[in-house]
Amino acid sequence: MYGTDGAALWSAQQGRCAVCSVELMLLPLRSRHLDHNHATGEVRGWLCARCNRVAAIEKHPAIGALLKYIGFVIDKKAAHCDNDSVK
């Protein structure tokens, strides 16, 4: 499957979604997804249907920009907290 052993990956994740940790065996088969890069075939992990949809949304340019912005805000806040502890 996409250049990797899906069963070994399933075992490594203990049968849980790589994002939210839901137990995948409790879900219908159609709700279990082996997430992978469509261009390279690189497998990233087993996901539930909900997390797989969120992972697909992340590819939208606006979402990528938003994630960079959130990272900037978190870094700025962390730097501010570090400055407060120096005083």
Both tokens of 69, joined, read: 């912005």
- Structural domain span for residue 53: 6-86
Q: In this predicted structure, what is the pLDDT of residue 61? A: 75
**What CATH number should be reported for the domain holding residue 74?**
3.40.1800.10
Q: Which of 45, 37, 43, 41 is nearest to 15 (CA)?
A: 45
User: What's the rounded Cα separation, in Å, for the pair 56 and 35?
Assistant: 10
Residue 1 in domain: no
Q: Model pTM greater than 0.95?
A: no
User: What's the rounded Cα separation, in Å, for the pair 1 and 6?
Assistant: 6
Enter the DSSP assignment of 4.
S
SS3 44: strand
Which residues on neighbouring strands pair with residue 53, listed in sequence order?
none
Number of domains in the chain: 1
Q: What is the pLDDT of residues 44-71, one digit of tens each?
A: 899 999 999 888 776 777 877 887 888 8
Residue 15 in domain: yes
Residue 30 in domain: yes
